[in-house]
A and B are shown apart, each in its own frame.
Chain A
Amino acid sequence: MKRLPLLLLSGLAVAAMAACGGKKPETTPAPQAANADSLAEAERLRADSIARAEREARQREEAERERQRRIADSLAALGKSTEAVRALLATMTHFDYDKAVIRAGDAAVLDQKVAILQANPGLRIRISGHCDERGSDEYNLALGNRRATAAKQYLVSHGIDASRIETVSYGEERPIAQGHDEAAWAQNRRDEFEILSGGENLKQP
């Protein structure tokens, strides 16, 4: 839109020149306020450079903050992974009454433990076998031992070094459910998995 008056002006000038008989008028360009302009330019440049410097500083700070946030995030992620792996590892397996056979559904639970043990070669665990209150108190120690051993044998047969797994039995001496019905008994017929060593930082399998 600014161009339009200029074009009009130049059009008028051409017409005037033509009217004046074709002689190019000697025009001296109006003296430019060169000094003032350069000062302003310099001023402008200086302001620009300050702004740029400030902007760059801000960016550097931003980058630093970002970097630190990323470090923190990754640490948190590592912690989350350890927690998650620990939770997976602690998942219990359960048994039928007076049986020490790994249930089909529990094989998947044990497969997870195989993967975790493979991903974390420094990890050592203890498996404890437990029973419900219905059987004989002392026989249940032998039965709990069978249950712990059954889980260990599964892990070892899937490639885990036997020396990384201890077993123990508590019979019916340490119930987690206190009731006297099938719901409680089913919870108490179980293997528990606890970390003996190497569980500080655990990798996801």
Chain B
Amino acid sequence: MTAVWRSGGLAVGVSAVLLTAGPPVRLTAQDTSAIDRGVRIGIIYRPGVRPGMVMLPVHAPALDSVRAIMTRDLDYSDRFELITLPGGDSIRVTAVAPGARPPSAGGAGRGTAGGAAAAASTLNYPLYQALGADFAVAVTTIAGDSTIVAVHDVAAGGVRREFRAHLPALKDPGFRLAVHQLTDRVLEAALGVGGTAATRVLFVMEGKVYTIDQDGADQKLVSSSDHQAMSPAWAGDGRRFAYMEFWEGHGRLFVQEVVSGKRAPVATTGQALDFTPAFSPDGKTLAFSRATEEGTDLYTVNFKEGCCLQRLTVGRFYDNLSPTYSPDGQRIAFVSTRPGLPQIYVMAADGTDQQLFAPFDYGATGSSNAPEWSPDGQTVAFHRDVGGTLQVFVLDVRTRAVRQLTSVGRNEDPTWAPDSRHMAFVSDRSGYRQLWIIDVETGRIRPLLQKSGARLPAWSPRLPETASSTP
């Protein structure tokens, strides 16, 4: 084992030398987490080079769906190269006798008692290293109710982290979310970054609001009324969301709780057309657009107290709409038609200091709409008319540089995942409009929902444990 570590360390050292010797390549990240035995190991990677990940075969058939869901989540995280074992997924690892635990795994196997859990820490590390794996994840179970997940650091030859969870029954509505949350813990353990597995996307289809897991499973109707709905938006805690409904001659805002499904109209919205609600990050304030005969302007309301309606913009001869808060709650990006056609503007959260946000060439740049501030605060995604069709753009908040992200077909209404790296949007690249997800760093694209007519997506924050009891 020692020899393996040495060779591993050597390999890393060599690649580092090669990197520094060649043309200047910026090392964007270096994971130097300590493992239990005091050995420090460095993994060097560049963007596009993803650490190898093996999801180990499971011992109990009951864990097959857990493994399948986690494997797909890890793939969709776009952070690993998922390695298929020789023999495919059908092979099963034979249980290792409890006494065969090597001393190298002693520290890693802390707190685990059962034979299966101990077996999980006795991996043939050189084999997995030869396969190109940097991490191996073992899912085991004790007495059928407690699920144990061990994240092995293959190069270090030990368990980096191990955690256990009581998963709901397979048919329980909370089962999938609980498994997604395990994936996010694996991601956190392996790379120290937050995942997006335990998230959902709200969207509108045929005038109703639906939710779907980020992996495309478990689509559910969540708006209960017959009124035509639009513009769902999550609260920052993932426990409620807002949306708009057309009522007789006006538009009304509602806030609905995820778990109970109970909803309440936002009190101070009246006979006007209120639309595009957006929660402030602290969850107390709801910003929205209100269309009256004076035009469309931005307002805020304390939705809990149902009070304190404040008008943020006074357009009169132009419209202001589609607010989105910066994650610190200090600023609001929005759409204003003051240049003659809609463009992306920004202001302080109290409505002062309004200014152009995404630069444009007057007379040349098309309409820009649907801004959404990324959860890390660094970018604002929006869509812009390019030659008669819409494309998704990203604005760098600091430099105010604008980058076009899509070019195939019509692409609109981007919404950020909580990792500020993935984005759901609407595209007709397949021939009809449907929901897609793009990894902004690698450009990898996958369909979220292969149904025509789904639109106006809103990606949730990381969902709390209690959200798993959603009926």
A interface residues (Cβ-Cβ under 8 A, vs B): 98, 126, 134-139, 141-143, 145-146, 149, 152, 166-170, 173
Contact = CB atoms under 8 A, between A and B. Distances in A.
Given A138-B231, A141-B251, A149 B273 contact: no
Contact of B413 (A98, A137, A145, A173): A137
Contacts of A137: 230, 412-413, 455-456
Interface stretch (B61-69, B103-111, B288-296, B440-448): B288-296
A31 B228 CA distance: 107
A157 B342 CA distance: 28
Contacts of A139: 321-322, 335, 342, 367, 369-370
**Candidate in B231, B275, B295 with the most chain A CB atoms within 10 angstroms:** B275
A135 B367 contact: yes
Given A168-B249, A168-B250, A138 B321 contact: yes
A130 B171 CA distance: 45
B231 A142 contact: no
B319 A98 contact: no
Contact of B273 (A126, A134, A143, A145): A145
A42 B246 CA distance: 87
Interface of B: 207, 228, 230-231, 246, 249-251, 273, 275-276, 289, 291-293, 295-296, 319, 321-322, 335, 337, 341-342, 367, 369-370, 383, 388, 390, 412-413, 455-456
A134 B433 CA distance: 12
B251 A173 contact: no
A145 B295 contact: yes
Contacts of B337: 142
Contacts, number: 76
Given A145-B291, A149-B293, A170-B246, A138 B276 contact: yes
5 contacts: A134-B388, A136-B390, A138-B231, A138-B275, A146-B295
Contacts of B249: 126, 166, 168
Contacts of A170: 246
Contacts of A141: 230, 251, 273, 275-276, 289, 291, 296, 321
Contact of B322 (A134, A138, A167, A169): A138
**Candidate in B251, B273, B276 with the most chain A CB atoms within 10 angstroms:** B273
Contact of A136 (B273, B275, B412): B412
